[in-house]
Structure 1
Amino acid sequence: MTAQNQNLHSTEDRRDVIAKLEELAPDFVGMISDFALGKVYDRPVLDDQLKEVVAITALISLGSERLQGHLESALAKCFSKEQLTEVIMLSSIYIGFPRAIDAMLVLHSLTDEA
């Protein structure tokens, strides 16, 4: 399995999403893997931790359900609950409190289960 495909399947949320996408549009999964994870995410200038902060902040701003998968991944790889809490709190002044509250609740649900 390539590094991009490992990233696609790294959390339960991502495995679920990718399984559904593969069923519906397998070429789309290939596009995500080749372009988003291969050509863009694999660029070497930013480290993985900073890339994850960018992704999390963008997903908070969008109110995206994909936030859960990125928070799961961040907790598993490189971030503590406290660090993610700080990222969300800092984002609140730029994105707004409603989105930050939603993100905090997602983080709480992930860390409360652990």
Structure 2
Amino acid sequence: MTERMSDADRHAQGMTTRREVLGDAHVNRAETRKDDFTADFQDMITRYAWGEIWSRPGLDRKTRSCITLTAMVAGGHLDELAMHVRAALRNGLCPNEIKEVLLQTAIYCGVPAANSAFAVAQRVLAEQG
């Protein structure tokens, strides 16, 4: 069982993890765009997605990236997929491993979803060099 953390500690841990996974540039852009309308949402995802889930010790970040890529394809979240392809590279996946994840999604999420995902990933990988 994990120890209880205050919301402030969870937010701090989440921000550290978020920056490590997504990169400072992405997080800085999100923080710059934050306003009264979106501040609560940004706080929630920082505390829960990044401070709770991505910070848990049970899975390594490569595995979490594989799961997240699959979830993005399954949900049709292509803008988020691009962000998480970049994160997957940062978390140590190579382009061939990303390709294998996307091939797997063709079977379980459908060929049209995987086709769109391959187009997004191809664009991101070309941008990343």
User: Please, what TM-score do these two structures have when normalized by structure 1?
Assistant: 0.85
Separation in 2 of the partners of 1:104 and 1:34? 31
Q: Count how many residue pairs are aligned between Structure 1 and Structure 2.
A: 113
Indicate if the aligned counterparts of 2:74 and 2:109 stay in contact, CA closer than 8 A. yes
Indicate if the aligned counterparts of 1:68 and 1:106 stay in contact, CA closer than 8 A. yes
Greater C-alpha radius of gyration: 2
Q: State the 1:18 CA deviation.
A: 4.8
Q: State the 1:16 CA deviation.
A: 4.0
Query: Quick one: percent identity of the two aligned structures?
Result: 24
Instruction: Pick closer, same or farther for the CA change 1:19–1:96 going to 2, 3 Å.
Output: farther
Separation in 2 of the partners of 1:75 and 1:98? 24
Partner in structure 1 of residue 54 of structure 2: 41
Partner in structure 2 of residue 59 of structure 1: 72
Could you list the runs of 5+ residues in structure 2 that have no partner in the other structure?
1-10
After TM superposition, the structure 1 = structure 2 runs for residues 82-97 of structure 1, keeping only pairs within 5 Å, are 82-97=96-111
Instruction: Pick closer, same or farther for the CA change 1:98–1:87 going to 2, 3 Å.
Output: same
Separation in 1 of the partners of 2:12 and 2:28? 15
Could you list the runs of 5+ residues in structure 1 that have no partner in the other structure?
none
Partner in structure 2 of residue 105 of structure 1: 119
User: Which SS does the other structure have where 1:89 is aligned?
Assistant: helix
User: Please, what TM-score do these two structures have when normalized by structure 2?
Assistant: 0.76
Separation in 1 of the partners of 2:84 and 2:59? 17
What is the letter of the counterpart of residue 25 of structure 1? T
